[in-house]
Amino acid sequence: MRVVDFGSVTPLRSQTLWHATAHGVSAGAPPTLSFMRPSAPYVSIGFHTPFDAVDHDRCARMGIPVYRRMVGGGPVYLDPDQLFFQIAVPEAATPARRPAAVRWLLEPAVEAFRAVGVDADLDERNEVVLGDRKVCGHAAGQIGTAVIVVGNLIVQFDHDAAAAVVRTPTGDAAEEFRRLVHRYVAPTPADPDSFKRAAAVSYAEALGFRAEDAGLTDTEEEKLAELDGLFVQPDWVRDGPIRRNGVPWRVKVKSGVWVHASEEGSTRVVVAIVDGMVDRIHLIDPDLDGARVEAETLLQGEALARAPEHLRHFGPSGQRLAAELERLTGKGVT
Amino acid sequence: MTVYRGCDIPSGYSFDVEADLWIRFEDGVARLGLTDVAQTRMGQMVSIRFKRAGRRVKAGGSVATVESAKWVGPVHTPFAGEVVAGNEEAFERDILIANRDPYGEGWISVVRPDDTAEITEGLLAGEDALTAYRERIDELDVSCFRCAD
């Protein structure tokens, strides 16, 4: 197994380097574990993330670029206080089912966390957690015939910046998202060099190889130059799926933790959901009048599936809010 | 229809078994989709991007990318040609359509092959497909299941 430590690199290179190694593994290079830290903050969006999932005006004001990666997941904020690792292996070597393959490739990372004193677990949804807080963002994909899983050690985390770069439709949705990012994402201030050494050991053991320091192949260097050009093309960043009209906005904080928002006329619902329960809800309807606080308090801690039923007791405005809540959480809530 | 370890392997289709793809030939074009094994391996789809109609694809190139479990992966075409259509409408209505109905409403793309002689190369149908797919299912050690509503 090749271990490549790229050190501190530009934001662009902190994306293109590992894509190049995945292409290399696809072309026959050995399984590869790589590390790097970006030299400055930036935002990375998933291959299927709509372009407008990010607040581009705010990113411009903050002076941070946005790049689109070739693996999954949503918009994420990256900065020099995070160490990124990537493991690329031939697809044929991985378990057949994708969730199982991702799990297989995250388990050694969890071992590395533990080796540096972070009592992390891999939960049933493949989230690397410390208690109920996410401590490692991850994404995965197939590039050529290589499977790659990427993740991070969050030494320090700028929760406010991470929340601010995501586009939110309303102030209350922004505040809910910021609150949940603070609550459910935690840094683990372990020594990055120790983590790298531990990860090299745990991945080598799991994959059955000996870890050897190495650099890029000539093919990977060529691919890197190509990717450096591709990733800065405006069309590459913009050309994601279109967010369809009428589809309610939502954002994931970690598996099972979401903020959803939707607005229909003068009726608005913003709901923070934790494992299928209403963590907090904001209800706006002109006819709800003084019952707003009562309704919001009643629903807090209630099962999401039962919330519309409760809302319908609040007259015509409750009916409208119930319909809106059902619309915005109708499908895809996990 | 043959069911092996819960995986449907319908008759009337050709298969690229290694790629977990089905192909159905219709008046000079080929309709492609994920097999029951593919949708099981993938898990619940959360997103899909289609190569636009009119675009050219190489043999082994991607006609779409699908995302599940934060994993993005390609849907390959086994032959070169021109993309005629992608099944955007069905997936807009129901992103799980390929999980629920992989051989019907959940088709992925229609491709017009460049060379009709090339298109059956490497594809299996009938008993050959059944035999090869049974072996693959055992090799992968998968049992199929579909999404419930």
Q: What are phi and psi of A114, to 5 degrees?
A: -65, -35
- The answer, for B40 touching chain A at a CB cutoff of 8 Å, is yes
Which CATH entry fits the domain spanning A256-328: 3.10.20.30, 3.30.390.50, 3.40.640.10, 3.20.20.80? 3.30.390.50
Q: How many CB pairs under 8 A join A and B?
A: 71
Which residues in chain B have their CB less than 8 angstroms from residue A126's CB?
69-70
Taking an 8 Å cut-off on Cβ atoms, the answer to whether B73 and A98 are in contact is yes
Q: Which chain A residue shows the shortest CA-CA distance from B75? A: A142
A2-238: CATH topology is BirA Bifunctional Protein; domain 2 (3.30.930)
Tokens matching residue A164: 């601010």
**What are the residue boundaries of the structural domains of chain B, listed by start?**
2-140
Rounded distance between C-alpha atoms, residue A297 and residue B131, angstroms: 60
- What mean pLDDT do residues A200-219 have? 94
Return the H-helix or E-strand segment holding A207: helix A192-207
Q: What pLDDT, in 10s, does the model give residues A19-45?
A: 999 999 999 999 999 999 999 999 999
Listing DSSP states for A264-298 in one string gives: ETTEEEEEEEETTEEEEEEEE-TTTGGGHHHHHHH
- The answer, for B99 touching chain A at a CB cutoff of 8 Å, is no
Taking an 8 Å cut-off on Cβ atoms, the answer to whether A48 and B72 are in contact is yes
The per-residue pLDDT of chain B, averaged, comes to 93
Architecture of the domain defined by B2-140: Beta Barrel (2.40)
- What mean pLDDT do residues A82-90 have? 98
Taking an 8 Å cut-off on Cβ atoms, the answer to whether A73 and B70 are in contact is yes
pTM for the predicted model, two decimal places? 0.93
SS (H, E, C) A80-104: CCEEEEEEEEEHHHCCCCHHHHHHH
Contact A83, A155 (CB under 8 A): yes
Q: Is a pLDDT exceeding 70 seen at residue B118? A: no
Rounded distance between C-alpha atoms, residue B24 and residue B5, angstroms: 23
Q: CA nearest A31: which of A5, A2, A59, A71?
A: A2
Output the pLDDT for position A244: 63
Output the pLDDT for position A290: 85
Q: Is the dihedral of CA B7, B107, A143, B147 positive or negative?
A: negative
CA A291 to chain B, closest CA, distance in angstroms equals 35
Rounded distance between C-alpha atoms, residue A58 and residue A64, angstroms: 9
Q: What pLDDT, in 10s, does the model give residues A227-248?
A: 999 999 999 999 877 666 667 8
% helix, strand, coil for chain B, step of 5: 25, 35, 40
Tokens matching residue A89: 């292996």
Which residues in chain A have their CB less than 8 angstroms from residue B49's CB?
47-48, 240-241
The partner residue sitting opposite A99, judged by closest CB among B48, B69, B142, is: B69
**What are the residue boundaries of the structural domains of chain A, listed by start?**
2-238, 256-328
The partner residue sitting opposite A48, judged by closest CB among B43, B49, B92, is: B49
